Amino acid sequence: MARDAATTRARILEAATTEFAARGIAGARVDRIADLAGCNKALLYTYFGNKEQLFDAVFAGLVRRLVVDNPIDAEHLDEYAGRLLDYNAAHPEIVRLALWDRLERDGAGMRSAELLATDAAKAAAIAEAQSRGVVSTRFSPETAMGLITVISSMLPFVQPADGARLRAAVTTAVDRLLR
């Protein structure tokens, strides 16, 4: 076994992502994560503290990547929503983890100063686009963001297996709502 702390940490995070996405915090089993990561259970505790802190690490990492990989484009919110949809299709764990976080911890993982700041920045970008007349003022910037989130992230969740038609529906909906 490659004795390398960084690699082992990464393997644990990957295994934990799978397990937490599938079963949530209460349903996840520490032994299952260790088995999947191919390492001893005790390492989870030396590297991450405990089960919930491991969830924190997993979730914070994925959310950070989601935010970095999907910068907002307030001029073309429909395409932004389409890209979010594609991203969620390619990384189905993220939406599931976010839902577990809301349900099991009242959204504790979404309240980091960092994430609140990027949320505020997105709202500001929309507000600015509204002031220039590029985006409709029908909705507040915050509500507009909420609508985009809900349509791009939750619609495939309540309507599974819709495929290519779904993407058209998402961009059409966002265009219709916010232009």
Q: How far apart are CA 148 and CA 80, in angstroms?
A: 9
Nearer to a second copy, 10 or 157 (CB): 157
What residues between 23 and 82 interact with DNA by CB under 7 A? 28-31, 39-43, 45-46, 50-52
Give the containing element (helix H, strand E) for 79. Answer: helix 77-90
Q: Which of DNA, a second copy, none lies near 76, with the C-beta cut-off 5 to 8 A by kind?
A: none
CB proximity list for 79: less than 8 A, separation 6 or greater: 73, 171
Residue-wise DSSP of 151-173: IIIIHHHHS-S-THHHHHHHHHH
Is residue 10 within the footprint of DNA (CB under 7 A)?
no
Q: Which of DNA, a second copy, none lies near 121, with the C-beta cut-off 5 to 8 A by kind?
A: none
Nearer to a second copy, 135 or 177 (CB): 177
In the complex, minimum distance from the CB of residue 131 to a second copy, in angstroms, rounded to a whole number: 19
Q: Which residue has the tokens 């290519």?
A: 164
Q: How far apart are CA 119 and CA 70, in angstroms?
A: 12
φ, ψ dihedrals at 71, nearest 5°: -65, 145
In the complex, minimum distance from the CB of residue 95 to DNA, in angstroms, rounded to a whole number: 23
Number of residues that bind DNA (CB under 7 A): 21
> In the complex, which residues of this chain contact DNA (CB under 7 A)?
1-5, 7-8, 28-31, 39-43, 45-46, 50-52
